[in-house]
Structure 1
Amino acid sequence: MRFHPLTRPRPLAWAVAAVVAVAAMFAATLDARPGFAADRGASAAQAAPGVEDGDAFGPYTGNPAQLPVDTHEMAGVIAPRGLLLMENPHVDWLGARSGSVAALGGAEVCKALGAGRNISYWSDVRDGTHCASRAGWRGPLQQSIATFLRGAGSAPGVFRISPKKPGNLAEWRTWQTPVLTDGG
């Protein structure tokens, strides 16, 4: 695959971590939309000392349509570069249902750019502990590193969504995925 100098994957590896962090912050807000059961479990304040509930996102709880950006857009800004999203559906406040919808929406952005295999999402894990490595993540992680950071191999393009917290993009999408071209 040919990359424009500004979209070359290696220099922008830091962006993967940034999108995951921002997506996690927005994801819990989306679970407040109608049709999503309210999440239970530890709050952000309980899990991260120094973070108070409602600091930045309080005004959007129950009103996510007012957010200045939708979570799938945060994943989409990385496209066509590689993105691997790993999620834990066992910790409610992490917002895995919203995370899967955001990943599916981000995948549509990648498809529009002709890079549909450049995004992967994995939340189908058995272990519910927080901040733990999952054996199921190892393959897609190693494949993503080889492809997007070392320039060898092929993109994993895998989606393993937990049946415990599946999201349905069709419930949220009011648009059709366009096919974008570079005009050349």
Structure 2
Amino acid sequence: MSAASDTCALTASAVLAALVARGETVAAAESLTGGLVAAGLTAAPGASRAVRGSVTAYATEVKAGVLGVEEELLGERGAVDGAVARQMARGVRKLLGADWGLATTGVAGPDAQDGKPVGTVFVAAAGPGGRTRVRELALNGDRSRIRSESVRAVLELLLNELTENVGAKDTEHNGGNGCLQP
């Protein structure tokens, strides 16, 4: 296992431990990560005590039809947008009956999308009481690195929310250890 995989596994384990301690659950809505967030969470022992499920909403139509993202928003701003990430996280939380919803949407490459350059990513965590945090990332690297960094970022965002350490991290990440497992 690489150092990046170790970091992801530790973060996923910490997220799950915090959720279990609070008696809460999580669900993921993934676009550019294509199931990697769910894979990272479910690789940790005891995941079934807190993980409700996930939706890979790669197509814009799935974001609207399954997760309830407003079609008008998608038409105006495209799928790579903070408000879209927010609605995805809230939508999967409701759809799967979880306490927390996570979302990833962005441009992993090789080409720009919706006028956004490669490496533009939005991650979101929606929780109890309507509380939702969105973080915009400007990531460097190839497609694999951007996807793995997105997984790391959304797990860290949730961990910060769960441990009430909000605001301790920068809002932009350029590099670091990602969570794409081989």
When the two structures are superposed, what TM-score results if normalisation uses the length of structure 2?
0.33
**Structure whose residues are more often strand by fraction:** 2
When the two structures are superposed, what TM-score results if normalisation uses the length of structure 1?
0.33
